[in-house]
């Protein structure tokens, strides 16, 4: 017997033998495996031995038990891991304030500050000031969670030179000075901006966009051309001379040392196209500046326009100082867009509601503070090349004179009611070829749609402007005892003409839908539709004002109420109804 087999036999006899090395223990464990022993027995038996069948069955049973044991062992291991996680101490959440040195972090947890170690496995790019972090039981920073998505919102009162931000809270509460988060480090913040801070009130995390400011801004200037506006040739000519001549003939204006106007006032009765003229002004001026290439070192070349449409009542706010802040932010937003190469247009509709005449009274009046703020901002505007201001008002007599003085709002342009020719121009915009027309009219004109539209336009204009008993609306009694009659032509405007055509289209559409068994092409707008729409439109507009508001009502209609002492209607059933106007003192 060889020495090797002898040692092996002695090792089986002595259990303590062979424990000196891991290889010996591994060999012993392999030899003790039931499957290995069964395989050895199978190998030692001849092929026809009947005991092989029993050994194979035994091997299969042992193999199944082994698989079941491994599965149970894996389940026990998972359960043990779950128990360990559930019984482990909770990680605390803190806020990262600073990284003074490599591997060290300044954090705040539950109001207490710590200088703690940073786990080397935490990526450095995730360590941002203001982010939430996880700390273990030893208060070591082990993971970052990103910025908290919740927190108070405050308005910036001042951006300090060192980058910190000062916030003012409600009266009776102390102000705050906070540092910026990593993402706010390079963001320009100005007083009035809304900023979200972290719940610990230590770091300013995110700047929030002012939703009210975004409501007023259109991405591009409205595409309204002068050809889309009818009945206002005089107003359009005046405003085009004021805004386009200084750009098209810049050298001539410079030689005369001509100062370009800063702003415009469009005033006149309601519905006469003041808003459309403002939009066309913005569109035309933006195109002219883009084509001429006006630029300067502090103002890049104009690439497009931006229309800031502000309705006067939207600025009014019940909180003290909030309306003034909105005006200041409006001009700041316009100047910021100009630096980006965008020409901003500030169009303020219903301007008398926010720029009304100031009154000397002890009680608070918002005009006493809002008008000076608007004038101060307007004085900082550098002509048409910086910001264009357009005001629109139905009552220019209510706007403070300080706003309308030369040097601020330089051009006052009257947008009056259209005459016969102007009304025809407006109707041609809405009654044009391509509109479904009455087949009988087309047949009479040999299918010439332009001729039919022209005939319909003339008929509508004649129906509105004829001085007939049917067209009488109001009787105005003067102090001298005389009476003055107002006809439909005296109160017509572009909005009424557009509504008349719209009503006629509705009648034609309704008739087309109700017509059974007929082709839709056999229907169209007829003269009867237009004439019926005229009566319906003016019948709905026959409203008398209250006694105490009759003077203001007449001014809104662009009539001087100085000598008027009574108003009565010609509407059937209301002949005896009359409103007496109190005299202005």
pLDDT tens readout for residues 33-92: 787 888 888 888 887 788 888 888 888 888 888 888 889 899 988 888 888 777 667 788
Lowest mean pLDDT of 39-43, 518-522, 556-560, name the range: 518-522
pLDDT tier at 15, thresholds 50, 70, 90? very low
Lowest mean pLDDT of 116-120, 256-260, 365-369, 392-396, name the range: 365-369
Mapped onto helix, strand or coil, the DSSP state of residue 264 is strand
CB 550 within 8 A of CB 561: yes
Percent of the chain at pLDDT above 90?
Answer: 14
CA dist 446 and 440 (Å) reads 10
CATH H-level, domain 216-414: superfamily = P-loop containing nucleotide triphosphate hydrolases (3.40.50.300)
**Residue 355 in this model has a pLDDT that exceeds 90:** no
**Residue 410 in this model has a pLDDT that exceeds 70:** yes
Q: To 10 degrees, the CA torsion angle through 566, 569, 574, 575?
A: 70
Of 464, 487, 472, the closest CA to residue 559 belongs to 487
- Contacts for 162-166 with beta carbons within 8 Å, 24 or more apart? 165/189, 165/195, 165/204
Mapped onto helix, strand or coil, the DSSP state of residue 102 is coil
Q: Are strands 304-311 and 342-349 parallel, antiparallel or unpaired?
A: parallel
pLDDT at residue 362 in the model: 45
**Residue 337 in this model has a pLDDT that exceeds 60:** yes
**According to the per-residue pLDDT averaged within each range, which of 141-150, 273-282, 354-363, 535-544 is highest?**
141-150
Of 164, 167, 165, 187, the closest CA to residue 176 belongs to 167
What is the C-alpha end-to-end distance of the chain, expressed in Å? 142
Place of tokens 């006067």: 312
Lowest mean pLDDT of 113-122, 161-170, 311-320, 405-414, name the range: 311-320
CB 145 within 8 A of CB 92: no
Q: Which residue has the higher pLDDT, 274 or 286?
A: 274
Domain 153-208 has CATH 3.40.640.10: no
CA dist 450 and 453 (Å) reads 5
**Residue 118 in this model has a pLDDT that exceeds 90:** yes
Segment 386-399, tens digit of pLDDT: 678 889 998 888 88
299 DSSP β-pair partners: 296
Kindly state the average pLDDT of the residues 183-198: 86
**Residue 13 in this model has a pLDDT that exceeds 60:** no
Kindly state the average pLDDT of the residues 334-362: 77
Q: Which residue has the higher pLDDT, 574 or 387?
A: 387
CB 389 within 8 A of CB 378: yes
Mapped onto helix, strand or coil, the DSSP state of residue 473 is strand
Lowest mean pLDDT of 1-10, 463-472, 504-513, 555-564, name the range: 1-10
CB 345 within 8 A of CB 280: no
Residues with Cβ within 8 Å of 392's Cβ and at least 6 positions away in sequence, in order, are 265, 266, 267, 274, 275, 278, 347, 348, 349, 350, 351
pLDDT at residue 116 in the model: 92
CA dist 500 and 533 (Å) reads 5
Tell me the CA distances in angstroms from 389 to 385, 386, 416, one per residue in order: 11, 10, 21
With b for 16 or more beta-carbon neighbours within 10 A and e for fewer, the 219-236 pattern comes to eebbebebeebbbbeebb
Lowest mean pLDDT of 74-83, 356-365, 470-479, name the range: 356-365
CA dist 352 and 393 (Å) reads 6
Kindly state the average pLDDT of the residues 103-121: 91
**Residue 117 in this model has a pLDDT that exceeds 90:** yes
**Residue 220 in this model has a pLDDT that exceeds 50:** yes
Tell me the CA distances in angstroms from 556 to 42, 270, 474, 495, 561, one per residue in order: 115, 8, 15, 15, 10
Query: ∠ CA(183), CA(185), CA(191), 5° rounding?
Result: 110
CATH no., domain 92-146: 2.40.50.140
**According to the per-residue pLDDT averaged within each range, which of 127-131, 209-213, 235-239 is highest?**
127-131
Q: Give the DSSP H/E element, type plus range, for residue 331.
A: helix 322-339
pLDDT at residue 294 in the model: 54
**Residue 105 in this model has a pLDDT that exceeds 80:** yes
Strand order of the sheet with strand 578-580? 483-487, 472-478, 564-569, 578-580
Mapped onto helix, strand or coil, the DSSP state of residue 565 is strand
Mean per-residue pLDDT over the chain, rounded:
78
């Amino acid at each position: 017997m060889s020495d090797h087999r002898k040692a092996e036999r002695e090792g089986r006899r002595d259990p303590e033998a062979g424990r000196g090395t891991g290889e010996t223990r591994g060999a012993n464990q392999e030899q003790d495996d039931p499957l290995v022993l069964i395989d050895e027995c199978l190998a030692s038996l001849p092929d026809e031995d009947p005991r092989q069948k029993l050994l194979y069955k035994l091997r299969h049973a042992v193999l199944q038990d082994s698989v079941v044991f491994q599965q149970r062992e894996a389940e026990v291991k998972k359960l043990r891991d779950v128990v360990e996680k559930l019984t482990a101490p909770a990680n605390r959440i803190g806020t990262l304030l600073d990284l003074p040195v490599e591997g060290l972090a300044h954090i705040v947890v539950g109001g207490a500050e710590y200088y703690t170690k940073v786990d080397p496995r935490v990526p450095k790019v995730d360590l941002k000031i203001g982010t939430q972090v996880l700390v273990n039981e030893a208060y070591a920073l082990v993971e970052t969670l990103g910025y908290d998505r919740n927190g108070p919102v405050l308005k910036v009162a001042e951006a300090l030179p060192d980058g910190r931000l000062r916030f003012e809270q409600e009266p009776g509460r102390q102000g705050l000075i906070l540092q910026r988060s990593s993402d706010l480090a390079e963001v320009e913040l100005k007083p009035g901006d809304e900023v979200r801070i972290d719940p610990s009130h230590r770091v300013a995390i995110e700047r929030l966009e002012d939703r009210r400011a975004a409501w007023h801004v259109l991405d591009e200037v409205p595409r309204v051309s002068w050809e889309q506006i009818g009945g206002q040739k005089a107003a359009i000519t005046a405003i085009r001379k004021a805004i386009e001549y200084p750009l098209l003939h810049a050298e001539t204006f410079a030689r005369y040392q001509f100062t370009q106007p800063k702003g415009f006032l469009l005033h006149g009765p309601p519905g006469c196209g003041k808003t459309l003229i403002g939009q066309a002004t913005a569109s035309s001026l933006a195109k002219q500046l883009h084509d001429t290439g006006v630029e300067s070192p502090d103002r890049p070349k104009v690439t497009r326009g931006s229309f800031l449409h502000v309705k006067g009542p939207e600025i009014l706010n019940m909180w003290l100082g909030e309306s003034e802040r909105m005006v200041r932010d409006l001009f700041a937003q316009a100047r910021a867009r100009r630096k980006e190469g965008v020409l901003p247009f500030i169009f303020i509709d219903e301007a008398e509601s926010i720029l009304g005449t100031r009154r000397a009274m002890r009680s608070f009046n918002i005009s006493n503070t809002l008008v000076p703020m608007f004038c101060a901002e307007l004085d900082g505007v550098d002509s048409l090349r910086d910001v264009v201001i357009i005001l629109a008002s139905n009552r220019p007599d209510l706007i403070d004179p300080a706003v309308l003085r030369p040097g601020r709002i330089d051009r006052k342009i009257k947008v009056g009611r259209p005459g016969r020719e102007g009304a025809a121009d407006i109707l041609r915009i809405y009654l044009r070829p391509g509109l479904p027309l009455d087949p009988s009219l087309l047949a009479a004109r040999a299918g010439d749609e332009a001729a039919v539209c022209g005939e319909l336009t003339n008929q509508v204009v004649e129906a509105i402007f004829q001085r007939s008993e049917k067209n009488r609306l109001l009787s105005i009694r003067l102090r001298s005892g005389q009476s003055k009659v107002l006809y439909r032509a005296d109160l017509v405007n572009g909005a009424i003409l557009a509504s008349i055509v719209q009503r006629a289209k509705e009648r034609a559409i309704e008739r087309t839908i109700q017509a059974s068994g007929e082709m839709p092409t056999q229907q169209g707008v007829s003269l009867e539709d237009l004439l019926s729409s005229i009566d319906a439109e003016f019948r709905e507009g026959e409203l008398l004002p209250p006694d105490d508001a009759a003077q203001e009502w007449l001014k809104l209609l662009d009539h001087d109420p100085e000598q008027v002492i009574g108003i009565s209607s010609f509407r059937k059933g209301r002949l005896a109804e009359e409103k007496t106007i109190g005299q202005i003192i």
